[in-house]
Amino acid sequence: MQRRYILITGGAGFIGTNVARHYLQSGEAVHILDNLSRPGVEQNLSELQNRYSGRVCFTHADVRNSEELFKAVQSAKAVYHFAAQVAVTTSLEDPLLDFHSNLTGTLNVLEAIRRSNDPPPLLFTSTNKVYGKLAGVALRKTATRWEPQDVPLAASGISERQQLAFLSPYGCSKGAADQYVLDYARSYALPATIFRMSCIYGRYQLGSEDQGWVAHFIRQAMKGEPITIYGDGKQVRDLLFVDDLVRAMQLAIEHIDRTAGEPFNLGGGPANSTSLLELIDEISALIGKRVEIDWGPERLGDQKWYVADTSKFRKALGWAPAIGIREGIRALFEWYLERPRLIEQSKVMVA
């Protein structure tokens, strides 16, 4: 059977839209399977359909619908599985929805590929939350951030050798899905790989307090509204601009013979790490005025420090981030300037 398109589950969302644009710009056809449950994603889909008329196939379906998935997989050159429930807070409110969206949905994707006569390569997006709160990592607090007491660890970040420690329903559902993808690669020789991702940000992200916080911070600042910080604001994350992520994803699919059956920690690494307070300083400098902060209690499952060690993927395929934090947040800021209506939309929107 001739493969016709790149299949992207959750393809109308933030990362899905960026991956779709990348392939469409290179002349490929793309099949987006999305239930459009997140407010705002319809506009991403409409933009893709209008700009790349005739090369965007769309199926309005949920990944819990195994039959629709099976049909979509049969003509796929490659599968990017992004469809998921993405917020820890939502998982705590409705763990059953979280379980079925993240674990049942992923099993349906795996089974659709396994039942295919010629299984296409799969890239699944997991999360750094599979490592839990990193209770074994001793930290010290500086004026603006938490950081490991172990200097080599601070310089390298968390590797794939870190013990798994699922925390929160979201961590459990994504972690279990992560392990199923690895097992299907080993048990059934499926060409499947995993990215355990840090904080991804960039164009087409309409973040909220619960997910996509970099975009949420920028939008709040542009509206002149305060940013709520939960905890002391010294929590550290490594940020990866979405263009760098898309480039890494394409490499992983193109070299699936080297990446299949392997998990990779993907993020900006130590060079692109920032605390919440440090990022707010950068945003304040960018917009030219001080951003106001409201303070809230620390949230369950929040890691005080997480930075990805990306050396495994870098050594395998020669990839490294090219876009630093200052350049990346400016690019997102300018993207919002071109779309002022998005700045004013409700803070609960997630794309």
User: Residue type at 330?
Assistant: R
Residue 349 falls within a domain, yes or no? no
Residue 31 falls within a domain, yes or no? yes
Residue 137 falls within a domain, yes or no? yes
Q: What is the CATH number of the domain that holds 102?
A: 3.40.50.720
Q: What torsion do the CA atoms of 340, 38, 300, 133 make, to the nearest 10 degrees? A: -90
Residue 186 falls within a domain, yes or no? yes
More confident residue, 88 or 76: 76
What is the reported pLDDT for 40? 85
**What is the total count of domains within the chain?**
1
Across the chain, mean pLDDT equals: 94
Contact 80/9 with Cβ under 8 angstroms? yes
Per the document, the length of the chain is: 351
Active site residue 170: yes
pLDDT in tens, 90-128: 999 999 999 999 999 999 999 999 999 999 999 999 999
For residue 51, the tally of other CB atoms under 10 A from its CB is 12
Active-site annotation holder among 52, 170, 184, 201: 170
User: Residue type at 28?
Assistant: E
Q: Which structural domain range is residue 222 located in?
A: 5-344
What is the reported pLDDT for 207? 79
Quick one: pLDDT band at residue 3, thresholds 50, 70, 90?
low
Residue 40 falls within a domain, yes or no? yes
pLDDT in tens, 296-312: 999 877 889 999 999 99
pLDDT in tens, 119-171: 999 999 999 999 999 989 999 999 999 999 999 999 999 999 999 999 899 99
Quick one: pLDDT band at residue 211, thresholds 50, 70, 90?
confident
More confident residue, 89 or 163: 163
> How far apart are the C-alpha atoms of 185 and 261, rounded to whole Å?
5
Residue 351 falls within a domain, yes or no? no
Map tokens 């999305």 to a residue: 34
Q: What torsion do the CA atoms of 300, 302, 304, 310 make, to the nearest 10 degrees? A: 150
Q: What torsion do the CA atoms of 337, 342, 344, 348 make, to the nearest 10 degrees? A: -140
Contact 290/223 with Cβ under 8 angstroms? no
pTM of model > 0.85 = yes
Contact 191/120 with Cβ under 8 angstroms? yes
Q: Which two tokens stand for residue 78?
A: 């490659």
Residue 292 falls within a domain, yes or no? yes
Average pLDDT over residues 220-224: 95
